[in-house]
Chains A and B, each alone.
Chain A
Amino acid sequence: MTLSSVRQLVVPNWPVLLIFVLLALAPVWSMYGGSDFTIRLLTRALILALAAVGLNFVLGFGGLVSLMHASFFGVGAYTVAILAHHDFNGDTLFGLPGTSNLLVSGPAAVFLALVFAVATGALVLRTKGAYFIMMTLALNQMLFFFMIALQQYGGEDGMQIYLPLHLSGYEFGSDSAIYYTVLIVLAFFVFLLSRLVCSRFGNVIRASSENEERLTAIGISPFHYKLVAFTISGAVTAVAGVLWAISQEYVSPADLSWIRSADLVVIAVLGGLVRVWGPLVGALVFVLAEYFLSDITVYWQLVFGLGIIAVVVLFPGGMLSVWATIRKINWGRAHDA
């Protein structure tokens, strides 16, 4: 793959602009004929999309199959929820007062995610392949069981956020306001990561997934680059967790279980891995499939699981080759070759 073709792949082009324009119009459409539920469903899809955009930065471009991104998501969501909880109770946490102001708790959440990502990344990035996957899975469950054990924050039942979260006084009055906030944040990070992927830093990350020895030979230490990428990736997913806390006003350990991590991997794969905005498509497919399948049958996970197995068995090249295969089908037109 040459550099210019890579640039073509990652720079936002007309399909992604079209998707964003359509998404921006969705609340208008739901006002006439749709429902608030549509907006909440789309909000959910966009938040999962952002979480998977974060994951895809290391999965799609760095080749790192992380099964611990739900834990970054959880760090983001729980930080906001816990600070709001202490604000509601009027007590302190390690001597500091709680807050419902997202201008404080948001950055705090991202900071904690950065610390957590550096600490865990420094450990897991020393390992490769199967080891890496198992270690990330184990670390994800470490945080999961830790949150279950913390009874003061709801334990297994999770915790409700009672005070309205606000941006220094501005409250999200409606579902649409939250929706647009999520959409703007998502667009911002898609743009930011697209620039980053095309940068010299991005080149090193992509190269590290292909041949680490060669990188080392030309004097670049892949480990440090991968650690920075892993940290950025975790922080972006944590931002999605913050948005999750805002939109759901509720967090629970289920939000950071390893199943959620695997869901994010599925979303990134559905999105084709090679585009920064790919997970947006993946998340829309995922959430809509979940919604419609669960409407048809209570055993929707069976259908979904079979779907995943069928795709992996039938299309060895991943979802990308599904698109390629579909494009190759002649759609009934006469073949003149």
Chain B
Amino acid sequence: MTTGLFVEQSLNGLQLGVMLFLVTAGLTLVFGIMDFINLAHGSLFMFGAFLAATFVKITGIFWLALILAVLATGLIGFVMEFLVLRRFYHRSHLDQVLLTFGFILVFNDITRIIWGSIPLPMPLPEILSMPVQIMPGVMYPSFRIAILVLGLIVALCLFLIIERTRLGMWIRAGASDRQMTSALGVNVGLVFTLVFAAGAALAALAGIMSGPISAVQIGMGEPILILALVVTVIGGIGSVKGALIAAIMIGMVDTFGRVMFPPAISSILIYLLMVLILAFRPRGLFPANV
């Protein structure tokens, strides 16, 4: 492997990792705080991409469309949580699986009704459509760099909010012991609604980021959901720090696996990694509720 290829693949891997972190952050906190399984998280990822593609078409301004799509998906998440999901925190995991599986079927068909079955293009702003030279002889698409930088900034902000602020402390406390936290006077229900809406918005952002790389199409959220579950399991349920480390790890292993191994091996590499880690750390790398 040449140095150029190595740098390029490292950037790709880091970018996939950052995107996975954005998807997983909401998912792992929802699992951690409310012990709730949300299989429909991938649908929010999909909504983000579709809404952004539409808003770009309407407004013509990419960055405005991005913000609008993220806010709109956050709102969808808020409504979902407020109207339906909150009734299911005390129900069995089986009911939660059925409910959110039902949501996936509904969301996929709603998307098909609104946008049709043909994948949408995701137009890019002028400055992001040119490749740039990152080192002698290596060109790299500028939008991928923009995505990476944006993703890293959001991930860093999120990490600081979770680890360094009072709100973040409530969230971490809720994830490690919900009952004790509410006994200490924190409105866990409210915190959780906010976490869910924020998680939806982050999933949407990740969806928009993946739009120019893979197509904006129905079912695009499902492969991501699976990867996010693997990240959640490896990182430890409810741990944002674990999610960050596991996401970068999965992003790197998956990207380099595809370059270095035949497809039959690279396709299962991350699952083997998951199995290996769980064999030594059955509750993931950084379990939130010990």
> Which residues on A are within 8 Å of B, measured CB to CB?
59, 65, 67, 123, 126-127, 129-131, 133-135, 137-139, 141-142, 145-146, 148-151, 258-259, 262, 265-266, 269, 299, 301-302, 304-309, 311-313, 316, 318
Contacts and interface: CB of A to CB of B under 8 A. Distances in A.
Contact of A138 (B93, B264, B267, B274): B274
A68 B177 CA distance: 30
Contacts of B103: 305, 309
Given A123-B275, A134-B37, 8 more contacts: A138-B226, A138-B271, A142-B268, A149-B263, A151-B263, A269-B98, A309-B99, A313-B84
B253 interface: no
Interface stretch (B54-62, B108-116, B119-127): B108-116
Interface in B238-277: 263-264, 266-268, 271, 274-275
B101 A308 contact: yes
Q: Which 7 A-B pairs have the closest CB atoms?
A: A305-B105, A308-B102, A302-B109, A149-B263, A305-B106, A142-B271, A149-B267
B104 interface: yes
A316 B87 CA distance: 10
A308 B105 contact: yes
27 contacts: A59-B94, A67-B97, A123-B275, A123-B278, A129-B35, A130-B35, A130-B237, A131-B237, A133-B93, A134-B37, A134-B232, A138-B226, A145-B267, A148-B267, A149-B263, A149-B266, A149-B267, A151-B263, A259-B222, A265-B97, A305-B105, A305-B109, A306-B106, A308-B99, A308-B102, A309-B103, A313-B84
Nearest to A155: B263
A59 B282 CA distance: 22
B97 A134 contact: no
A135 B35 CA distance: 15
Contacts of B94: 59, 65, 265, 269, 318
A302 B104 CA distance: 9
B31 interface: yes
Nearest to A262: B101
B271 to A, nearest CB: 4
Which of A59, A149, A311: most chain B CB closer than 10 A? A149
B68 interface: no
A309 B264 contact: no
B37 A130 contact: yes
Nearest to A263: B101
Contacts of B16: none
A304 B264 CA distance: 35
Q: Interface majority SS on B: helix, strand, loop or mixed?
A: helix
B129 to A, nearest CB: 30
Contacts, number: 117
Contacts of A67: 97
Contacts of A148: 267
A141 B278 contact: no
Contacts of B288: none
Interface of B: 31, 35, 37, 39, 84, 87-88, 91, 93-95, 97-99, 101-106, 108-110, 112-113, 222-223, 226, 229-230, 232-233, 237, 263-264, 266-268, 271, 274-275, 278-279, 282-283
B31 A302 contact: no
A262 B99 CA distance: 11
Contact of A145 (B99, B268, B274, B283): B268
A305 B99 CA distance: 9
Contacts of B229: 134, 137-138
A65 B275 contact: no
B97 A313 contact: no
Nearest to A304: B105
A306 B105 CA distance: 8
A299 B103 CA distance: 14
A308 B100 CA distance: 9
B233 A266 contact: no
A15 B166 CA distance: 60
A313 B83 CA distance: 11
A309 B283 CA distance: 31
A318 to B, nearest CB: 7
A252 to B, nearest CB: 16
A309 B267 contact: no
Contacts of B35: 129-130
B97 A301 contact: no
Contacts of B279: 123
B98 A313 contact: no
A302 B105 contact: yes
Which of B104, B109, B223: most chain A CB closer than 10 A? B109
Contacts of B267: 145-146, 148-149
Contact of B99 (A151, A304, A313): A313
B97 A65 contact: yes
Nearest to B265: A149
Contacts of A65: 93-94, 97
B98 A312 contact: yes
Contact of A301 (B109, B226, B263): B109
A137 B102 contact: no
Nearest to A319: B98
Nearest to A67: B97
Nearest to A119: B275
Given A129-B35, A139-B271, A305-B105, A265 B233 contact: no
